[in-house]
Copies of this chain bind each other. A is one copy, B any other.
Amino acid sequence: MAFRLAKAKEKLDSFLNSGKMIVVIGNCFVHYQGRAGSKLAEGNRMLLIKADNSFAIHQNTKLRPINYMMNAQSSTKIDSEKNCLVISAFKRKPKEKLEVFFNQIDFVQAFEIEREKELRLFGSERELSDLLMQDLSVLEKGLTALKKEQPLRKGIIDIIAEDKDKNLVVVEVKRRKADLNAVRQLYSYVKQVETIKGKKTRGIICAPLIGKPPMELLEKYGLEFCRLDYEIYNPKEEIKGLQKKQSTLTELYKKR
């Protein structure tokens, strides 16, 4: 048994910093201390060490690892008292330590895996925002964009615009259902703009949906909601928002 662990350590050491993705499977318990602290009792787990030194312990549920560390310095050692192969990950800033104590190792291998091919994603908020910038009139007739991603002292406005009556309008774009957070954000931005410019300013949340409590808060704050339909939120009805200017998600997807 101790031999198997020593053999595993040998293999591991040769894999570390090889640029390959390392997979270790075995029985272990895990200690973490850093931004928080945790202990995980003994059990079979998968340890994944990637080329960018990300370090992740996976159980057999959930997308995300149960314990992890990014940009970790990894090392191995045999703890002969505990009869364990200890695989550790360290980091400073913040100072963190993660130790995996393997008392049994079933599998150790390294694989050549694509490091970081770019994902072409669409339907992001940035993309929506860009499309809106091209023609804000889909939100309201006579609305013209002034600036996008305008930094304030406390926050960043998605789009700042002017309506037909020359009122300033702050637009907050959300790719999914607008929540309380979005409303609080918009309110904070509008108040700041009013303070800076010294004149009444409108605020519009632009999203495919909004819940009832967020809508009520929005109204309480004197802000507005503008529905921007998305195919996924409105699969059967026609697209009402940007049908003339913007393709639906599905159409965009097919084009690329």
Contacts and interface: CB of A to CB of B under 8 A. Distances in A.
Nearest to A250: B33
Contacts of A2: none
Nearest to A252: B37
Interface string A39-74: 111011110101110101011111111111010000
A139 interface: no
A38 B122 contact: yes
Contacts of A153: 213, 216
A185 interface: yes
B95 A235 contact: yes
B58 A62 contact: no
B54 A112 contact: no
Given A61-B52, A217-B154, A44 B113 contact: yes
B68 A113 contact: no
A36 interface: yes
A44 B116 CA distance: 10
A214 interface: yes
A117 interface: yes
A52 B43 contact: no
5 contacts: A37-B249, A38-B119, A38-B121, A44-B114, A66-B119
Given A36-B124, A50-B61, A61-B116, 5 more contacts: A23-B23, A40-B117, A43-B117, A59-B115, A154-B213
